[in-house]
Amino acid sequence: MFVPSLAWRDSRKARRRLLLYIAAMALGVAALVAVRSFGANLQAALGEQARAVFGADLQVWNWGRFHEGNEALVDSVVAAYGAEVAREVTTSSMALFPESGGTRLVQIRALRGDFPFYGEIQTTPDSAAAVYQARGEALADAALMLQYDAEVGDSIRIGQRTYRIAGRLDGITGQTDVEALVGPRVYLPLDALDPGLLGFGARYTTSAYFRLPEGVTADSVLAEIRPRLTAMDLRGATVSEMEGDWGDALGDLTRFLELVGFVALLLGGLGVASAISVYVRQKAETVATLRCLGATAGQTLRIYTLQTAVMGLLGALLGAALGVAVQQALPRVLGPFLPVEVATRLVWEPVLVGVGVGVAVALLFALLPLVRVRRIPPLRAIRADAEARGFDVWPWLLGAVLLAGVGYFARVQTGDPRAVWAFPLGVLVAFGVLALAAKLVQALVRLLVPRRAPYVWRQGLANLYRPGNQTLVLLLTLGLGTFLLTTLGLVERTLLAPIALPAEEGARPDLVLFDIQSDQREAVRALVREHGLPVLEEAPIVPMRLTAINGRSTEEIRMDTTAPQPTWALTRQYRSTYRGRTVETEQVTAGRFVGRVPADTAVVPVSVELDLANDLAVGLGDRLTWEVAGRAVETAVASLRRVDWARVQPNFFVVFPEGPLDDAPQFGILMTRAGSPERSAALQRAAVERFPNVSAVDVSLVLGLVEGILDRVAFVLQFMALFSVGTGLVVLAGAVRIARLQRIEEGVLLRTLGASRGQVRRILVAEYLFLGLLAALTGIALAAAAGWGLARFVFETPFVVAWGWVAATLLAVPALTVVVGLAGSRGLLARPPLDVLRAEVG
Amino acid sequence: MPVLDVHDLTKTFTSGGRALTVLDGVTLAVEPGATVAVVGPSGSGKTTLLGLCAGLDRPTRGRVALAGHDLGPMSEDARAALRARHVGFVFQSFRLIPTLTALENAAVPLELRGARGARKAAAELLGRVGLGDRLDHYPSQLSGGEQQRVAIARAFIGRPAVLFADEPTGNLDDDTSLRVEDLLFELNHEAGTALVVVTHDAELAGRCGRVIRLRGGRVVDERERGGEGEREQRPLASGQPSA
């Protein structure tokens, strides 16, 4: 009983400040519990709603149309299993709203049959989904109708046909908001679709959806017909496959977010270790006295371990409660990316895991400094300078256990065995780099502050170096938070910069017309000119397939599991062009670009994009055989090009010289600069009316969409990074609180020596200002390095410094630090020196 | 049998590469109930001797037997357990645990042993040292003299065989010192506890039955002053050159 009761009594005056410090972990636990709860609810929602999202039991589909053999297969499935079938063609096309004259590229879903079999299409009016097919009418996306001020009953023109809008699409089960943002949907009856939309060069898919009778499982049907599908190059999918795919993707997402939360928890752990370290120092005399009175080393260790365990539990419970609250917000934050409605039910497993992990992290981090208690010599009670001697293996053992624990957690989270060592190593390196950077910045500031600076500034700065300072741990926590937030900001700007439209660059295209048939090319060009707009760029596009590499057929390579080439590169439809020169967005890195060869050249010299060449494992001189409209074309790699894909330009994997493909079946793309939304809309309208198969993309609209999506992604990540920043601030508040003892002694001494309250306050301001500045500078410097590295090596785009972000960070972090620091020191300044001298400090 | 038996006690520290002998071949024995003062100038080895006698540190050479137990082969924890049973402590700076009340502070040694009735015994003893009305006060709410009286109550509560006092009056004014000394000797007398006092205070040393003078780590002088009846002899004793 002695240990618990003394642990309880001994904690009396420390409880509040210990709790504050242990609260540093609360945010990490909160992040963990919130994300994990969300993940559990998400999985549950997927399980419940998967069929509704998929709409059927089984889907068989293909690029382009179904030929006779495909149809026979569909019929045999219907006959063999008594399945119900629905047909769908999806493509994209221009929609024109005749009432307002608005045009926009939309996703067409042309249906025949009772699809979706499960789930529903929500429309206004409700009945619209049931009747639009029979009446030959259309359903249009709500956002699209809003954009063009269209109402139910208005017309919409797709291709050469005009449909009455039977209803507004309010929600389609399984469609994410982000999808709707990119391509607003229009539902049409398949039988009333303009066949012109499915002509040469059109990209579309054809599907058959099946509803199977009770007792027949889609996966077994798929397994049975799989050989026939493969033989016919058809693809099949079932609801469980889709559920698995979504589950994997969303599982990855939540696990990643959990790891971000775990980083916040580790930061909190550092805060705990630092707090307990100070606490142990303050308790050294008490421990020595207890040892003199006969307490064993184990008893004293247990007293303080029990205290921290209880505080850790309280902190973790606080965090779990906070996490359950935060979880309410997550579906709102992540909702636009999700195919299902996610509930915010309270799930116990994540709460228990969060509390468990929280307590474990708190205890392990607390024990690192706590084991020193064992070695406080009783002699210290009569000799202040008595110190433990010799090497203590325990902190190292505990450190190893801690790292192993971190590795285990990362392994469980990521499911990747390498995480066992990679994540702890990464954490160590990150902390190490941050600690090193912090030391460096500290040393620099120390060197650079002039000796003649006002006293209060020198004193404030010196506080950062005094014995027992917590500068390093504060720089770690605040700095890492700053680092995470700033990196996100910098990377987002870097990604947006190259695609952002330069305001005053006359020559940049802002409108792209595509799917122009060969016989329409002249007329389209004339139309653009009629509108007083320039033809900035034109490119012919020739669809083709790769059939052999250096004489070995792609079929054979695909079957060879040791071949390095990815399947997509072997089977995709290539949309190649031919032209006489390179363009602005590409750069030849090897070989010579050949611009023109005679039409009958036996081996055509082509230029291949660098990454594709790597994927296909080909270099200069290697042979590629293509099938262009049924004809084999033999080519050799004459040059390699690096392509800046981020720029809005027609870019190509493979560029042919002029000559051999001039007469191949092809369609074209044309770019112009309208300069204003009105002129752009006028040209689009005219183009849709005269050339229904031609589509137009307003580049500024696309950029707006990309920016919107990136903003949302960044928001999610910043939301998680906030936990780290929050943890940094809580650790700061705790550090201020725990260092009060030293502060009070100092403040009293200074005031006894004649310092005014204002001066004492200014010293505090100086200290926290420096601390905040150091954290901000360290975080920004690391973020700049990380941002540059990501830009250079991952996104392969020039690094752009977002000065706004840097400036905001540089202002906000020190300001917050000063506010938190002063708030924690408030009572200290209010007390008269004599009063403080008399009182037991602490 | 002596409660404290010290033989050829030597302690050598290595400082800056040089060996420094702070205690050099000290031998002494303290009988039950005896009062011993250890005096000497700063750095003469008084505190080191006290630390070694109480098993707070290990000697470089020599032997310490406390309450019949040889400290040499004992582990840290075994020595701690021995202290809990047989040793009391009074420190110059009181060393009360700031987060415990006077009552709880005084009760710690009994609680460490897991004994019953610790609080009752502490309350009684605090009443005995004149703090019956301050049981629930924290150290910060007590004056120096009061804190030292709590420390004395704590030292005696376990009825130790030996009480080590390190400059017990060093932080107190004269009047308060006198009261604390009186208490120390009264309780020593009543409980039959041997008292080993390290002090600079000539008056306090003079009240002890035996004075051991250290210089440079060696015993340079040792005087018996007759065990019992120190209190009556006090005026005389204070007049003699003892420090």
Taking only the tens place, the pLDDT of each residue in A163-218 is: 999 998 877 666 666 666 667 889 999 998 988 888 766 778 899 999 988 888 88
pLDDT range class, residue A836, cuts 50, 70, 90: very low
In this prediction, residues A716-741 reach a mean pLDDT of 73
Q: Which of A114, A805, A80 is nearest to A496 (CA)?
A: A805
Give the pLDDT score at A182.
65
Give the pLDDT score at A593.
92
Q: Is A91 helix (H, G, I), strand (E, B) or coil?
A: strand
Give the pLDDT score at A654.
93
- Most B CBs within 10 Å, among A292, A301, A389, to test the B interface: A292
Of A13, A295, A382, the CB nearest to B112: A295
Give the pLDDT score at A748.
66
Which residues pair with residue B26 across a beta bridge?
Answer: B9
A625-651 residue pLDDT tens:
998 888 889 999 999 998 876 666 677
Query: What is the amino acid identity at position A753?
Result: L
Q: List residues of B whose CB lies inside 8 A of any A CB.
A: 47, 50-51, 54, 56-57, 76-77, 80-85, 87, 89, 91-92, 95, 97-100, 104, 108-109, 111-114, 138-140, 154, 166
Cα–Cα distance, A278 to A84 (Å, whole number): 72
For chain A, helix (H) and strand (E) counts, in that order, are: 27, 21
Give the pLDDT score at A244.
78
Low pLDDT (below 50) residues in chain B: 227-243
Cα–Cα distance, B11 to B60 (Å, whole number): 5
The residues near A217 (Cβ < 8 Å, ≥ 6 apart) are none
Q: Spell out the SS3 assignment of A371-388.
A: HHHHHCCHHHHCCCCCCC
**For A646-662, b where at least 16 C-beta lie within 10 A, e where not — what string?**
bebbbbbbbbbbbbbbe
Of A285, A293, A297, the CB nearest to B89: A293
Query: What is the amino acid identity at position A445?
Result: V
The pTM (predicted TM-score) of the whole model is 0.67
Q: Spell out the SS3 assignment of B9-30.
A: EEEEEEECCEEEEEEEEEEEEE
What is the DSSP-derived secondary structure letter of residue A100?
Answer: T
Q: Which residues of B touch A13 (CB under 8 A)?
A: 98-99
A384-424 residue pLDDT tens:
777 777 788 888 888 888 888 888 887 877 677 877 887 78
- Among chain B residues, CA nearest to A375: B76
Q: Which of A578, A597, A593, A760 is nearest to A669 (CA)?
A: A578
- Among chain B residues, CA nearest to A13: B99
Distance from CA of A439 to the nearest CA of B (A): 29
List C-alpha distances in Å: B19 to B11, B13, B16, B23, B27. 10, 6, 8, 12, 21
- Among chain A residues, CA nearest to B54: A292
pLDDT range class, residue A757, cuts 50, 70, 90: confident
B83/A292 Cβ within 8 A:
yes
Weakest-pLDDT range from A139-148, A585-594, A652-661: A139-148
Give the pLDDT score at A828.
66
Of A14, A290, A382, the CB nearest to B166: A382
The residues near A106 (Cβ < 8 Å, ≥ 6 apart) are A92, A93, A94, A95, A141, A144, A158, A183, A184, A185, A186
Structure-token match 């204003």, residue found: A676
Q: Is A544 helix (H, G, I), strand (E, B) or coil?
A: strand
CB contact at 8 A, A486 and A805 = yes
Percent of chain A with pLDDT over 90: 11
Does the ipTM exceed 0.95? no
End-to-end CA distance of chain B: 29
| Phi–psi pair at A258, nearest 5 degrees | -65, -40
Q: Which of A114, A103, A4, A121 is nearest to A53 (CA)?
A: A121
Q: A289 in contact with B at a CB cutoff of 8 Å?
A: yes
Give the pLDDT score at A176.
66
B111/A5 Cβ within 8 A:
yes
Cα–Cα distance, A739 to A423 (Å, whole number): 33
Q: Determine if the peptide bond prior to A605 is cis (ω within 30°).
A: no
Distance from CA of B94 to the nearest CA of A (A): 10
What is the DSSP-derived secondary structure letter of residue A23?
Answer: T
Q: What is the mean pLDDT of chain A?
A: 81
Distance from CA of B232 to the nearest CA of A (A): 31
Q: Which residues of A touch B77 (CB under 8 A)?
A: 296-298
Cα–Cα distance, A606 to A583 (Å, whole number): 15
Query: What is the amino acid identity at position A33?
Result: V
Q: Determine if the peptide bond prior to A660 is cis (ω within 30°).
A: no
Compute the radius of gyration of chain A from its Cα atoms: 34
Q: Is the dihedral of CA A318, A321, A326, A327 positive or negative?
A: positive
Q: Which residues of B touch A1 (CB under 8 A)?
A: 111, 114
Q: Is A635 helix (H, G, I), strand (E, B) or coil?
A: strand
Cα–Cα distance, A226 to A522 (Å, whole number): 46
B84/A290 Cβ within 8 A:
no
Q: Which residues of B touch A377 (CB under 8 A)?
A: 56-57
Give the pLDDT score at A180.
65
Give the pLDDT score at A123.
87
pLDDT range class, residue A754, cuts 50, 70, 90: low
Structure tokens at A38: 């969300």
Give the pLDDT score at A837.
45
Give the pLDDT score at A840.
38
Kindly write down the DSSP assignment for every residue of chain B, as one continuous string.
--SEEEEEEEEEEEETTEEEEEEEEEEEEE-TT-EEEEE-STTSSHHHHHHHHTTSS--SEEEEEETTEESTT--HHHHHHHHHHHEEEE-TT----TTS-HHHHHHHHHHHHT-TTHHHHHHHHHHHTT-TT-TT--GGGS-HHHHHHHHHHHHHHT--SEEEEESTTTTS-HHHHHHHHHHHHHHHHHHT-EEEEE-S-HHHHHTSSEEEEEETTEEEEEEE--STTHHHHHHHHHHS---
A64-113 residue pLDDT tens:
888 888 888 889 888 888 889 999 998 888 888 888 878 878 889 999 98
Give the pLDDT score at B229.
40
CB contact at 8 A, B120 and B171 = no
Give the pLDDT score at B237.
34
Chain A, chain B: beta-carbon pairs less than 8 Å apart: 98
In this prediction, residues A756-781 reach a mean pLDDT of 83
CB contact at 8 A, B148 and B170 = no
B56/A379 Cβ within 8 A:
yes
Structure tokens at A227: 């050989």
Cα–Cα distance, A352 to A347 (Å, whole number): 9
**Count of Cβ atoms closer than 10 Å to residue A726 Cβ:** 20
CB contact at 8 A, A232 and A73 = yes
A563 by Cβ neighbours in 10 Å (0-12 / 13-18 / 19+) ranks as middle
Give the pLDDT score at A607.
94
The angle at the Cα of A764, spanning A758 to A766, to the nearest 5 degrees, equals 100
Q: Which of A406, A440, A495, A545 is nearest to A709 (CA)?
A: A495
CB contact at 8 A, B210 and B20 = no
User: Does A824 have pLDDT greater than 90?
Assistant: no
In this prediction, residues A678-689 reach a mean pLDDT of 83
A297/B99 Cβ within 8 A:
no
Q: A378 in contact with B at a CB cutoff of 8 Å?
A: yes
Give the pLDDT score at B61.
93
Q: A294 in contact with B at a CB cutoff of 8 Å?
A: yes
Q: Which of A687, A304, A656 is nearest to A516 (CA)?
A: A687
Compute the radius of gyration of chain B from its Cα atoms: 18
The angle at the Cα of A604, spanning A601 to A608, to the nearest 5 degrees, equals 170
Give the pLDDT score at A751.
65
In this prediction, residues A724-738 reach a mean pLDDT of 75
Distance from CA of A290 to the nearest CA of B (A): 8
**Count of Cβ atoms closer than 10 Å to residue A605 Cβ:** 20
Distance from CA of A377 to the nearest CA of B (A): 7
A6/B111 Cβ within 8 A:
yes
